[in-house]
Amino acid sequence: MRIVLFGDLHLYQLAVWPWQLLGKRLLGQTNLWLNRRNRFRIDLCDILAEKILSLNPDAILGTGDLTTTSLKDEFLAARKWIQQLRHACPVHLVPGNHDRYTFTSARQRYFERYLSDAQDIGFPYHNTLSPNLHLIGLDAAGPRCLLSWGKLGNEQCRRFDKILNQIPESKEHPLIIMCHYSLGSPSNCHQEPPSHGLRDLPQLTKILQNHSRPILYLHGHVHEPWLWRPDKLPHVIALNAGAPVFTTPRFPMGQGFWELDFADPSNFQYTHHALAPDNTWQSESLTPPSETGLSATLQGIT
């Protein structure tokens, strides 16, 4: 089975009405004009979709932040982009904090209305990608007045633990968990501040510690693709999707996306694809580190 993972797309709209700039969106739009619009190459989104579809995936997973300031037009653009993928295979998404950027967008459930395949069942959701491969989607995103931390909440954690207990505890039933927020940062990568992280991470970690099956935890939020084994969770591999069209010196045409090939119940193959300045795609295969705490080295565009 082949799975494609992409992260923070951050589609944006520069032209907004003055009444759309109330609250936190004023800060977001200011950052967009001064900084973000120069780093996110949304003109590359069609090239990205074309490459994803060329791999003939069986499923596509997205870890949130498809929008930038939760404007309705941003969601419409994101839905149009997602629809071309959904014509090829199932697409499963979780929301990011930018998809619930304002209290209005959260209250009116823009993410559920325009993007989510879980709008009728809520979070956490549980899907079976193949007879022995399970996917659980978590929602830690919500509008914050200034900061960008996330929280699952006690009730969602309780339901999540209940779902885990219903899945056979066996290496023959590996599990993919998808949430916008990370399980922390590898010591050799960018360190995420508490104001940007998951408030109830200790509670989530404790739940994961109680289940010894192989777990692949997929997230975004931190714009840096990485692959590591988190501290205190040796049975968990955490994969940061990165930001597909976010340009950095290491990824001058965007951070690309991941291809996950599921060969057998205990073996995933991890390949990262990124666009080079000559518009060719470079691919790099990685092996998860055997020890906790460190990320496997991703070279980037060479």
Domains of the chain: 2-286 (3.60.21.10)
Structure tokens at 26: 């004023």
Mean pLDDT over each residue of the chain, to the nearest integer: 88
Instruction: State the Cα–Cα distance between residues 14 and 35, nearest whole angstrom.
Output: 12
Once rounded to an integer, what is the mean pLDDT over residues 153-162?
A: 96
Instruction: State the Cα–Cα distance between residues 113 and 119, nearest whole angstrom.
Output: 7
Residue where the block lists tokens 């900061």: 147
pLDDT the model gives residue 164: 94
Q: What is the pLDDT of residues 193-203, one digit of tens each?
A: 888 899 999 99
pLDDT the model gives residue 265: 53
SS3 readout for 148-189: CCECCCHHHHHHHHHHHHHCCCCCCCCEEEECCCCCCCCCCC
pLDDT the model gives residue 45: 95
Least confident of 7-21, 76-90, 106-120: 7-21
Query: Residue 224: is it exposed, middle or buried by C-beta count within 10 angstroms (0-12/13-18/19+)?
Result: buried
Once rounded to an integer, what is the mean pLDDT over residues 113-139?
A: 84
Count of CA atoms in the C-beta half-sphere (13 A) of 116: 24
Higher-pLDDT residue of 55, 187: 55
Buried b (16+ CB within 10 A) or exposed e, 28-42: bbeebeeebbeebbb
Contacts of 193-196 spanning 24+ positions with Cβ under 8 A: 194/149, 195/147, 195/148, 195/149, 196/147, 196/148, 196/149, 196/221, 196/222
Q: Which pTM value belongs to this model?
A: 0.91
Count of CA atoms in the C-beta half-sphere (13 A) of 123: 23
Q: What is the pLDDT of residues 58-87, one digit of tens each?
A: 999 999 999 988 888 899 999 999 999 999
Q: What is the pLDDT of residues 229-261, one digit of tens each?
A: 998 899 999 999 999 999 999 999 999 999 999
The share of the chain scoring above pLDDT 70, in percent, equals 89
CB atoms within 10 A of CB 281: 14
pLDDT the model gives residue 111: 94
Q: What is the pLDDT of residues 31-50, one digit of tens each?
A: 665 577 667 899 999 999 99
pLDDT the model gives residue 301: 85
Once rounded to an integer, what is the mean pLDDT over residues 290-301?
A: 83
Q: For residue 132, what pLDDT band results from cuts at 50, 70 and 90?
A: confident
Instruction: State the Cα–Cα distance between residues 221 and 208, nearest whole angstrom.
Output: 20
CB atoms within 10 A of CB 253: 21
Instruction: State the Cα–Cα distance between residues 127 and 133, nearest whole angstrom.
Output: 9
The share of the chain scoring above pLDDT 90, in percent, equals 64
pLDDT the model gives residue 267: 78
Structure tokens at 117: 């395949």
pLDDT the model gives residue 17: 43
Tell me: pLDDT of 113 over 80. Answer: yes
What letter would DSSP give residue 297?
Answer: P
Query: Residue 254: is it exposed, middle or buried by C-beta count within 10 angstroms (0-12/13-18/19+)?
Result: buried
Least confident of 21-25, 67-71, 87-91, 218-222: 21-25
Tell me: pLDDT of 120 over 60. Answer: no
